[in-house]
Amino acid sequence: MQRAYVLHMLQEVESVAEHSQRVTVIAYLLAKEIGADPLKVLIMAAFHDLPESRTGDANWHQKEYITQNEEKAQEEQFALMGKASNEVRALLKEYHERKTLESQIAKDADNIDYLLTLKELELQGNEEAKRRLYSEDTSKSHLYTDKAKEIFDDIINSKPNEWYQKNREKTHKKYIADSSDKSK
């Protein structure tokens, strides 16, 4: 399923499934770093966009013209979960209320993934992504935890592929050396 902001970015971005996977990884790392319950955070992160697998991920402009019934989609999905449905339902309610540390961490992970995507698109020359990344709407005031705010600053000041660029020459030399050793 395509992400809502594809229309605005004028290029393909990750799918809802890819987004959810990355959010889940970020959420787990944040939970461990901050000292929250990682299982609760993982469940919230893994299921936070569950209805979108049926309704699609509509952006704000599209929502002016269509009616999505995310509650119906979610209830139909809960009916298929068996014993897990009550726990997932309760944790998603908690996630949407944003009153607990775990729910705030899960939402921070969702926002951090969005920021990372904008940064990646900016480095590919996408002007709309650059505008959004540095706009007031995308400021760190939307983040809940201090750790997420630190990560926001790191994202703004980093290049996602910097690790690769730094290690490329060293890795290439090692590969050449290993290859020549094997040919002897």
pLDDT averaged per 10 residues, the chain (length 184): 48 78 97 98 90 62 65 67 85 96 98 92 90 83 95 88 79 74 65
pLDDT of res. 98: 98
Domain presence at residue 125: yes
Domain presence at residue 91: yes
Contacts 24+ apart (CB under 8 A), 153-157: 155/112, 155/115, 155/116, 155/119, 156/119
Please classify residue 77 by burial: count the beta carbons closer than 10 Å to its beta carbon, then call 0-12 exposed, 13-18 middle and 19+ buried.
Answer: middle
Token pair in block for residue 88: 């997932």
pLDDT of res. 82: 79
Domain presence at residue 152: yes
Domain presence at residue 102: yes
Amino acid residing at 180: S
Helix (H) or strand (E) holding 113: helix 101-123
Q: How far apart are CA 53 and CA 107, in angstroms?
A: 19
pLDDT of res. 66: 60
Distances in whole angstroms, Cα of residue 45 to Cα of each of 25, 38, 159: 9, 10, 25
Q: How far apart are CA 36 and CA 184, in angstroms?
A: 54
Domain presence at residue 1: no
Distances in whole angstroms, Cα of residue 97 to Cα of each of 85, 90, 107: 18, 11, 11
Domain of 146?
A: 6-182
Amino acid residing at 69: N
Number of domains observed in the structure of the chain: 1
Residue 2: strand pairing partners: 15
Q: What's the CATH code of the domain at 21?
A: 1.10.3210.10
Task: Tell me the pTM.
Answer: 0.77
Domain presence at residue 145: yes
Helix (H) or strand (E) holding 22: helix 16-34
pLDDT of res. 8: 52
Note whether 13 and 26 are within 8 A (CB).
Answer: no
Please classify residue 33 by burial: count the beta carbons closer than 10 Å to its beta carbon, then call 0-12 exposed, 13-18 middle and 19+ buried.
Answer: middle
